[in-house]
C-alpha cells in the first residue's frame, strides 16, 4: 500500500540536460530584500533574468517557487532558511518532493558542505515523496522516478539503502494510520505485522480474546470487549546474536475510539482512526531495526482494541485488573489508551528490558500544552536524555514534561488501587496520563527499566496544510526517533 515511488538516485558533478521531464532545484538564501540564489551550476544568463522579489520568492525553509526553464523544463527555487541546519535541509527537500510529484526527474543543485548535509537532503526528499491514494483510484499517481544530485561528495550504497529502509518505515506507518477503521482493525493490524515480519528474524506471538482473559490482560480486554472486532496483544521480538542491550517499545493501538460509553461528541470522533498511531509506529520501527540489522534486542508490544459502545462495553465505575495485579476503577471509558498500555507496560516489564518506551496518542491535553508539532516526553532522566538525543539527530520535536508528585493523589480511588482519571479535573491532563502509566513500569523487587513515555497526540496527524516533508494526514512521527534510539543504544 506504500504510496512512495521507487527512486533511482545518482550523484554527479555534471548537470544533466534540461528536458520537459525534468526540474532543477536551486536554493534561495538571505532576507526579504537581499535574496540570492545559492551556488549552482545552471547557466548564469538564464538565472539573471529572474527578479526574485517580483516573483514572490522566499528564503523561508521549504518555500517553493516553480518557474519555466529551458527546453520546457522547470527551474524550482526552494528556501533554505537563515542557517543551514540538517533538519532545515530535510524540510526543504521534503517540500520539493511534495511539489514535484508530477515530474519524472528531479535534479538537486545545492552546495552541500558535508556528507551529512547530502544524506539529510536525500532523506528529506524520500520523506516528502508520498501520497496516500488507496481510495482515489482515478487520482494522478506520482511520476517521480529519478533523483540526481549535483555534488562532488560521495555516498555508499549501504548509506542510501539505510535511508530507504528508514523512510519506507515512515511511509508504511502513514499508510496504516491513514487507512479507515472499517478496513483496519485489530485483526488486520495482526496480519500486517505477520506479513512484514515474514522474511525477517522477528518472532511474533498473538494473544487473542480468550488468552487476554486467561493471562490477566484486563486492560486490553476491557477496552475492546464492546466491539464485535475483538482486541489483540501482539509481541514482536527481534533478538540478534550478540545483542548486549535491550529495549521494549509499547504502542497504543486503538483502531477507532468512540470514547466507549463515555462517548465523544460527533466532531471529536472524526480523526479517531489515528488512535492506533503508537502501535503502528512501534511496529514499523522494529521492522526497520531488523532490516538495518542493528545489534540490539528490540521487542514491540502492540496493544490493539476498538473502543466501541455496546451492551458488552465497559461501564464507568467498573473495576478491572491489569496484568501486574493492580486494580483500576474506570471512571471514564474515553481514557482507554492508558488501560491498554498498562497491560503492555506490565508485559514488557516482565522481560526486564534495559529501556522501555511507550508511544501513544494519549491525551488531547498534549495538544493544548504543546501544539500540533511537539510530542510530550515524560519518564526517567536516563531514558529522557536518550530519547532527546535521538530526536535531535532526526530533527523530530519532543519536549520534556514533568511528572509532578502532587498530581498523583488525583488518581486515588475509593475502591481500587487507582482510577484512570479524576472526573472534573482539567489541569495537567497529559501529566496525569504519564503518572498513571508509571504505575505499571517495572516489577516489584527487580531493577526497573529506564522508561520514557511519548504522547504524540499532536504530531501524529496533520489536519492542516502539508509542510516540509510532512504530508496532510498521518505523519509517521517518532518512527525515525525510535530507530535512532535503538541505533544509539546499540553502538
Other beta carbons within 10 Å of 396: 25
205 as an active site residue: the answer is no
pLDDT tens digit sequence for 85-107: 899 999 999 999 999 999 999 99
Asked, colleague to colleague, whether 8-155 and 164-490 share their fold, the answer is no
Instruction: Return the H-helix or E-strand segment holding 257.
Output: strand 246-257
Give me the pLDDT at residue 3, please: 47
- Counting Cα atoms < 13 Å in the Cβ hemisphere of 14 gives 2
Give me the pLDDT at residue 2, please: 43
- Contact by Cβ (8 Å): 131, 3: yes
CA distance 374 to 397: 5
Give me the pLDDT at residue 464, please: 94
pTM of whole model > 0.85? yes
Helices 479-490 and 277-292: crossing angle in degrees, nearest 10, is 40
pLDDT tens digit sequence for 28-43: 998 767 889 999 988 8
- DSSP annotation string for 87-154: HHHHHHHHHHHHHTTT-SEEEE-----SHHHHHHHHHHHHHHS----TT-TTSPPP---EEEEE-S--
264 as an active site residue: the answer is yes
- Contact by Cβ (8 Å): 218, 326: no
Question: Which segments of the chain have a pLDDT < 70?
Answer: 1-5, 32
Question: Which three-class secondary structure state does DSSP give residue 45?
Answer: helix
Domain regions of the chain by residue span:
8-155, 164-490
Closest CA to 306 of 259, 360, 365, 363: 259
Instruction: Provide the grid cell at 413.
Output: 480511588
> Annotated catalytic residue: which of 225, 235, 338, 487?
338
Q: What is the rounded average pLDDT for all residues in the chain?
A: 96
Helices 381-394 and 479-490: crossing angle in degrees, nearest 10, is 110
Instruction: Provide the grid cell at 261.
Output: 460509553
CA distance 45 to 58: 21
**Which CATH code of 3.40.630.10, 3.40.50.300, 3.50.50.60, 3.40.1400.10 fits the domain covering 164-490?**
3.40.630.10
> Annotated catalytic residue: which of 66, 264, 448, 472?
264
* Yes or no: domain 8-155 corresponds to CATH 3.40.220.10: yes
In sequence order, the 6+-apart residues with CB closer than 8 A to the CB of 52 are 28, 35, 36, 37, 77
Give me the pLDDT at residue 5, please: 60
Amino acid at each position: 500500500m506504500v504510496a512512495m515511488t521507487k527512486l533511482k538516485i545518482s550523484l554527479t558533478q555534471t548537470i544533466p540536460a534540461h528536458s520537459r521531464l525534468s526540474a532543477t532545484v536551486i536554493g534561495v538564501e538571505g532576507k526579504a530584500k537581499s535574496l540570492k540564489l545559492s551556488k549552482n551550476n545552471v547557466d548564469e544568463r538564464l538565472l539573471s533574468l529572474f527578479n526574485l522579489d517580483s516573483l514572490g520568492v522566499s528564503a523561508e525553509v521549504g518555500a517553493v517557487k516553480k518557474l519555466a526553464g529551458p527546453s520546457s523544463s522547470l527551474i524550482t527555487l526552494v528556501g533554505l532558511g537563515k542557517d543551514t541546519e540538517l533538519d532545515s535541509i530535510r524540510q526543504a527537500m521534503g517540500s520539493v518532493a511534495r511539489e514535484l510529484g508530477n515530474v519524472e526527474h528531479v535534479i538537486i543543485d545545492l552546495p552541500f558542505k558535508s556528507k551529512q548535509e547530502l544524506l539529510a537532503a536525500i532523506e528529506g526528499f524520500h520523506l516528502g515523496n508520498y501520497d496516500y491514494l488507496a481510495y482515489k483510484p482515478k487520482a494522478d499517481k506520482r511520476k517521480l522516478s529519478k533523483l540526481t544530485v549535483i555534488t562532488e561528495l560521495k555516498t555508499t550504497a549501504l548509506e542510501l539503502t539505510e535511508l530507504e529502509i528508514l523512510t519506507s518505515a515512515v511511509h508504511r506507518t502513514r499508510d496504516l494510520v491513514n487507512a479507515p477503521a472499517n478496513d483496519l482493525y485489530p485483526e488486520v493490524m495482526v496480519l500486517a505485522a505477520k506479513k512484514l515480519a515474514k522474511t525477517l528474524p522477528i518472532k511474533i506471538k498473538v494473544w487473542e480474546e480468550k488468552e487476554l482473559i486467561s493471562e490477566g490482560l484486563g486492560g486490553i480486554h476491557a477496552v475492546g470487549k464492546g466491539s464485535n472486532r475483538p482486541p489483540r496483544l501482539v509481541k514482536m521480538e527481534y533478538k540478534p546474536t550478540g545483542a548486549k542491550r535491550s529495549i521494549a517499545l509499547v504502542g497504543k493501538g486503538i483502531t477507532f475510539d468512540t470514547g466507549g460509553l463515555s462517548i465523544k461528541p460527533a466532531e471529536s470522533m472524526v480523526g479517531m482512526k489515528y488512535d492506533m498511531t503508537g502501535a503502528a509506529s512501534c511496529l514499523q520501527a522494529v521492522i526497520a531495526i531488523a532490516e538495518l540489522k542493528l545489534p540490539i534486542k528490540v521487542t514491540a508490544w502492540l496493544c490493539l482494541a476498538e473502543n466501541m459502545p455496546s451492551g458488552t462495553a465497559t461501564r464507568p465505575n467498573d473495576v478491572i485488573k491489569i496484568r501486574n495485579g493492580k486494580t483500576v476503577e474506570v471512571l471514564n471509558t474515553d481514557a482507554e489508551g492508558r488501560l491498554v498500555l498498562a497491560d503492555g507496560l506490565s508485559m514488557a516489564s516482565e522481560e526486564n528490558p534495559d529501556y522501555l518506551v511507550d508511544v501513544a496518542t494519549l491525551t488531547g491535553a498534549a495538544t493544548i500544552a504543546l501544539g500540533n508539532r511537539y510530542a510530550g516526553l515524560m519518564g526517567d532522566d536516563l531514558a529522557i536524555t536518550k530519547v532527546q538525543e535521538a530526536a535531535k539527530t532526526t530533527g523530530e520535536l519532543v519536549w520534556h514534561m514533568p511528572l509532578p508528585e502532587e498530581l498523583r493523589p488525583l488518581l486515588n480511588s475509593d475502591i481500587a488501587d487507582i482510577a484512570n482519571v479524576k472526573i472534573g479535573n482539567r489541569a495537567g491532563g497529559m501529566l496525569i496520563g504519564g503518572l498513571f502509566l508509571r504505575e505499571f513500569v517495572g516489577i516489584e523487587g527487580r531493577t526497573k527499566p529506564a522508561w520514557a513515555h511519548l504522547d504524540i497526540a499532536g504530531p501524529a496527524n496533520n489536519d492542516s496544510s502539508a509542510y516540509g516533508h510532512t504530508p496532510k494526514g498521518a505523519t509517521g512521527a517518532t518512527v525515525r526517533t525510535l530507530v535512532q534510539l535503538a541505533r544509539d543504544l546499540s553502538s
